[in-house]
Chains A and B, each alone.
Chain A
Amino acid sequence: MCLECGCNHPVPFGVKVLSVIAPGLLKPRVPDGPHTIEVHASLLAQNDDAAARNRARFASHGMLALNLLSSPGAGKTTLLSRTVDVFGHEQRCAVLVGDLETDNDARRIHRPHLPVVQITTGTACHLDAEMIARGLDTLSLDGVRVMFIENVGNLVCPAAFDLGETKRVVLLSATEGEDKPLKYPPIFKSADLVLLTKIDVADALGFDIATAVENIRRIAPQAELIQLSARSGEGMDEWHDFLRHHLPV
């Protein structure tokens, strides 16, 4: 009789010998019957491990790392361009910018004094921690105090992916609805700072700033809130103060 399953298949001579001299070798390696394996493992473990390595790397350079998230067109690139033009002369900054395709944003942000790397994700709807690690490998990090990471424009998927950032910044622009925080709660709930951007055009668009602020407060009570316009400069001092305040000592 077969040793594996008890069927009537004839047993080869070699197996008969083995069953006498080393029976342990022929025992089934797995128990029979239905079997439940309790796994309880995070599906993002690989990303979270890479994020922890990034976080340690930022810390070892004494660097503040910010993950900027918003819908497409909320003003991340314009904000960064204006920030590096002013604050970038006070503290050395660098930028990692993610998009599905093109290096347009990296070219918009590029300045002689500023290391910038464009990460094109292809079809991926968010940056992940390993993309950031590869991006960091290509940058000269000497003396950099603030690393801006401009995420792919998307209010859904990037929320789940820790990049190793020190602070998470979510932008809501006056060209969007005041109820965006109510429609996309997870990302606003993960924010350390919410920036209400393009407030210079709020009146013209009929955007009610008070309602937007109230919605942000209700969805994201944990977050700081700054209203600004990168174009007019209003609120930019407060944003720069936020950066100074969170620089590692």
Chain B
Amino acid sequence: MNLSRRSARPVLSTHNVHEVGIMESALALVARHAAGHGDRRVSRVVLRIGALAGVEIESLCFAFGVVSRGTVAEGADFEIEEVPVAVYCHGCHLEFAVETGGFIFTCPNCGDLCGEIRRGRELELSRIEMT
């Protein structure tokens, strides 16, 4: 975990603007699903975010607090399921998971560098819970 993820108050930068846009998409989806269920209060929102999705988790949490105000998801628990990277080695026909902390992907079998990313770019609304 790096320092920026640990910081308690993320700085509002263009980076945060990106996460705010992502969160607006997520909450629009939440609102659409809640409307189909009688606009009940949403108690939990769960996103699936890949390690290579290019979004900062801390900034997303910050964006959820801001963007959810006045929506059906205001005050809901916000949870992120992080999706680890999975890479494919063409030489060995082997798919392998990558431990967090590095972005140089070498096949554990042959040691070659691998560029085909099978998982880890996810940016999804996984599920919502309602009371």
Complex contact A186–B17 (CB within 8 A):
no
Say whether A21 faces chain B, with CB atoms less than 8 Å apart: no
Q: Render A208-228 as a binary contact track against B, CB cut-off 8 A, 1 for contact.
A: 000000000111111100000
Q: How many residues of B contact A (CB 8 A)?
A: 38
Task: Give the Cβ gap from A42 to chain B, nearest Cβ, in Å.
Answer: 6
Say whether A144 faces chain B, with CB atoms less than 8 Å apart: no
Complex contact B113–A218 (CB within 8 A):
yes
Task: Give the Cβ gap from B69 to chain A, nearest Cβ, in Å.
Answer: 19
Complex contact A43–B124 (CB within 8 A):
yes
Complex interface: chain A residues within 8 A of B117 (CB): 189
Complex contact A156–B15 (CB within 8 A):
yes
Complex contact A185–B103 (CB within 8 A):
yes
Complex interface: chain B residues within 8 A of A154 (CB): 14
Say whether A14 faces chain B, with CB atoms less than 8 Å apart: no
The answer to whether residues A157 and B54 also contact, given A189-B103, A218-B113 and a CB cut-off of 8 A, is: yes
Say whether B38 faces chain A, with CB atoms less than 8 Å apart: yes
Complex interface: chain A residues within 8 A of B55 (CB): 160
Say whether A27 faces chain B, with CB atoms less than 8 Å apart: no
Complex contact A34–B43 (CB within 8 A):
yes
Say whether A134 faces chain B, with CB atoms less than 8 Å apart: no
Q: How many residues of A contact B (CB 8 A)?
A: 36
Complex interface: chain A residues within 8 A of B29 (CB): 39, 41, 43
Q: How far is the CA of A125 from the CA of B130 in the complex (A)?
A: 33
Return the 10 tightest CB-CB contacts between A and B, nearest first.
A222-B115, A185-B103, A221-B113, A30-B38, A157-B18, A221-B115, A125-B14, A186-B54, A159-B54, A43-B25
Q: How far is the CA of A103 from the CA of B36 in the complex (A)?
A: 44
Q: Render A175-201 as a binary contact track against B, CB cut-off 8 A, 1 for contact.
A: 000000010011101000000000000
The answer to whether residues A189 and B52 also contact, given A39-B125, A40-B125, A220-B115 and a CB cut-off of 8 A, is: yes
Complex interface: chain A residues within 8 A of B14 (CB): 123, 125, 154, 157
Say whether B114 faces chain A, with CB atoms less than 8 Å apart: yes
Which of A30, A36, A124, A187 contacts B127 (CB under 8 A)? A36
Q: Render A15-50 as a binary contact track against B, CB cut-off 8 A, 1 for contact.
A: 000000000000011100011111111111010000
Q: How far is the CA of A44 from the CA of B48 in the complex (A)?
A: 13
